[in-house]
Amino acid sequence: MATSKLLVSTLRKSLTSPSPSSSFRRFSTAAAEAVAPASEPEDSLTIKGVKISARPLYLDMQATSPVDPRVLDAMLPYYLARYGNPHSRTHLYGWESDQAVETARSQVADLIGASPKEIVFTSGATESNNISVKGVYEQEGFDVTYLPVGNDGIVDLEKLKGSIRRDTGLVSVMAVNNEIALGKIPIDVDKWNVSLMSLSGHKIYGPKGSWEWGTACELAKKEMEYDDKRIGALQERLLNGVRAKLGGVVVNGSVERRYAGNLHLSFAYVEGESLLMGLKDVAVSSGSACTSASLEPSYVLRALGVDEDMAHTSIRFGIGRFTTEEEIDRAIELTVQQVEKLREMSPLYEMVKEGIDIKQIQWAQH
Amino acid sequence: MLRQLASKRLITQRIQILPRFYHEKVIDHFNNPRNVGSFDKNDPAVGTGLVGAPACGDVMKLQIKVDDTTGEIVDARFKTFGCGSAIASSSVATEWVKGKQMEEVMTIKNTEIAKHLSLPPVKLHCSMLAEDAIKAAVKDYKTKRAKSNVDSDAEPAVQAAKA
């Protein structure tokens, strides 16, 4: 397994590192589309008005993850040669595709401790969620009880127990939230007594919107423990690296009970979107309101009870199977640099340095 | 097989029309901000405008230094907690007030700032805030001046603008 990992990372390095002879960014495990610059110098590109010198580092794994080359390897034959429709019953093409689907089905089932008969492939998690909830409860008029979460984002089990009624038909819980901690945690639907579950393939290095997950699930199962340890170490490295140089860094959501690949941080006195603008060479995302059309901060952060003045200051870093130490170190360097620059420009930081308590100020409404 | 794929240029024919676009002027103000900093707010020649709220994600502090005898704004500084458009709007505001009379800068409209920066509709409130900041700074200076004329100590009045 170690050899194939080495192969994968070497392959990725050689495909994505700039060489003097190549003038374009080609195949890479980054999720964004390749953009071929028309009139720009060889190694820089301008997009949305921002000029960047190279493809950004990808640290947005909770939005989506790159396809593992081994998954791609497994898929390619089915695009190029064995492209039959699994429902075609009358020829080899159909039969072999059907076999592939069933193999994939059992690999998924194996990963979560379910029976293959219980797996339904859909176009994605959103469709799955809708099928589960709406499909099971087709009529309207059902009472819905919304439960709050604690400051660490965890559901209070006592509260949950207390709110289950005799006529409760469905309890729906997010095993891991994609904003503050997406999970690749060991799942056993039998042990947990789960009736329905939605899974997202493109967040476990599988393809997007497609049923071809078999290999992705198999790999997830084999490599989860190793991935978890490695990613956990990177997460710690990122947090410690940033905290070594900056004060006022708050982790959103429980530190202990979060998935290792997610680091959702608030940087006091610095607004999230301006930080994103400064971090143009790192692909991350933010929970700040300016990125949505309304001025409301993220409902997830609000549910955690994050203070108003911190609600606009957050950035979500997503670490994954292919993230390297160099990328983390570079991300630390850039983040510290940009936060320091923006704090110099921040009236809130200035007030705090002067000893003013910004929570006491009467701000003007606007 | 992967290497073969990699050696071919991956051109996407379809060009995505991205919903939000940073005008290069906004980027420029972000990368090379003009007039970032502070004056001493106790200085009687300085007017300070502080507008916005952290809960809204936008706070601007704009300060003007006024020549007492001529009424001309000789210098300006700003500090902003907010998105790129907010930073750019306040930066533009400090550029535009320099060398002008106070009455003149009271007529600066947020629409002019927005047009100069090609702000999309969703960012218009940033330019509004910048306009408010200018007015608040002028008002503060005038208030301080009036107070000192009545022979009382000029307090460091940081006055929040009324929206």
CA A27 – CA B152 distance, rounded (Å): 71
Q: b/e string for A160-183 if b means 16 or more Cβ within 10 A?
A: eeeeeeeeeeeeeeeebbbbbbbb
Q: Scan residues 85-144 of B and list those with Cβ closer than 8 Å to A.
A: 86-87, 122, 125, 128-129, 132
Query: What is the per-residue pLDDT across A284-324, written as a single tens digit (0 to 9) for each?
Result: 887 655 555 555 667 777 777 777 777 788 888 988 888 99
Give residue-wise pLDDT tens across range A118-154. 888 777 777 777 777 776 665 566 777 778 877 777 7
Which residues of chain B lie closer than 8 angstroms to A312, CB-CB? 54, 57
B81 touches chain A (CB under 8 A): yes
- Per-residue tokens: A237: 């490295």
Question: Cα torsion at A13, A18, A22, A27 (round to 10°)?
Answer: 40
User: Which residue in B27, B56, B146, B160 is the catalytic one?
Assistant: B56
Average pLDDT over chain A, rounded to whole? 76
Q: Determine, for residues A364 and B160 on separate chains, whether the beta-carbon distance falls below 8 Å.
A: yes
Contact assessment for residue A261 and residue A235, using Cβ atoms and an 8 Å cutoff? yes
In this structure, are strands B46-53 and B159-160 parallel, antiparallel, or unpaired? Answer: parallel
Separation of CA A17 from chain center: 24
**Higher per-residue confidence, A179 vs A50:** A50
Region of A253 (left: φ > 0; alpha: ψ -120 to 50; beta: rest) is: left
Please, what is the angle between helix B110-117 and helix B24-31, to 10°?
Answer: 100
- Strand ranges in chain A using DSSP code E only, listed in sequence order: 45-47, 50-52, 57-58, 249-251, 262-267, 282-283, 285-286, 314-318
Mean pLDDT of A255-268: 83
On whether the CB atoms of residues B56 and B126 are closer than 8 A, the answer is no
Catalytic residue among A290, A310, A334, A351: A290
Measured CA to CA, the distance from residue A126 to residue A141 in angstroms comes to: 22
Whether residue A274 lies within 8 A of chain B, CB to CB, comes out as yes
Arithmetic mean of pLDDT, A69-95: 85
- Torsions phi, psi for A64 (to 5 deg): -170, 165
Cα–Cα distance for residue pair A346/A355, rounded to 1 Å: 15
Residue A159 has pLDDT above 90, yes or no: no
Q: Give me the phi and psi of A250, to 5 degrees please.
A: -115, 135
Question: What's the whole-number mean pLDDT along residues A177-181?
Answer: 61
N-terminal to C-terminal alpha carbon distance within chain B: 63
Q: Do A345 and B87 touch (CB under 8 A)?
A: yes
Of the candidates A267, A341, A283, the residue with the CA atom closest to the CA atom of residue B32: A341
- CA A278 to CA B31: how far, in whole Å? 8
Q: pLDDT band for position B135 (50/70/90)?
A: very high
Instruction: Name residues whose C-beta falls within 8 Å of residue A182's C-beta, 6 or more positions apart in sequence.
Output: A61, A62, A176, A203, A259, A261, A262, A318
Query: Do the Cβ atoms of A47 and A35 come closer than 8 Å?
Result: yes
Runs of H (alpha helix) within chain B: 2-7, 24-31, 84-97, 102-105, 110-117, 124-149
Extract the tokens encoding A74: 């497994």
| Catalytic pick among B64, B126, B129, B130 | B126
For helices A214-245 and A92-112, give the axis angle rounded to 10 degrees.
Answer: 40
CB contacts < 8 Å between A and B, how many? Answer: 133
Alpha carbons within 13 A on the beta-carbon side of A168: 13
Q: Which of A272, A269, A332, A349 is nearest to B84 (CA)?
A: A272
What confidence tens digit (pLDDT) does each residue in A208-225 have? 545 556 677 777 778 888
Residue A158 Rama label (left phi>0; alpha psi -120 to 50; beta): alpha
* Chain B positions in Cβ-Cβ contact with residue A288 (cut-off 8 Å): 57, 83
Q: Report if pTM > 0.80.
A: no
pLDDT tens for each residue of B55-113: 888 899 999 999 989 989 999 999 999 999 999 999 999 999 999 999 999 999 999 99
Q: Do B80 and A347 touch (CB under 8 A)?
A: yes
Q: How far apart are the first and last CA of chain A?
A: 58
Under the banding of pLDDT at 50, 70 and 90, the label for residue A22 is: very low
Q: In whole angstroms, what is the distance from residue A275 CA to residue A305 CA?
A: 22
* Residues A219, A203: Cα–Cα separation, whole Å: 13
Q: Does B16 touch chain A (CB under 8 A)?
A: yes
Domain B22-142 has CATH 3.90.650.10: no
Residues 6+ apart with CB under 8 A from A299: none
pLDDT tier for residue B118 given thresholds of 50, 70 and 90 = very high
pLDDT of residue A321: 86
- What distance in Å separates the CA atoms of residue A242 and residue A331, rounded to the nearest whole number? 9
Q: A33-74: per-residue pLDDT in tens?
A: 333 334 444 567 777 777 777 888 889 888 888 888 888 888
Tokens of B56: 């809204």
pLDDT in tens, B13-66: 333 333 446 688 999 999 898 899 999 989 999 999 999 988 888 899 999 999
Say if residue A264's pLDDT is above 80: yes
Which amino acid is it at A271?
E
State yes or no: is B126 an active-site residue: yes
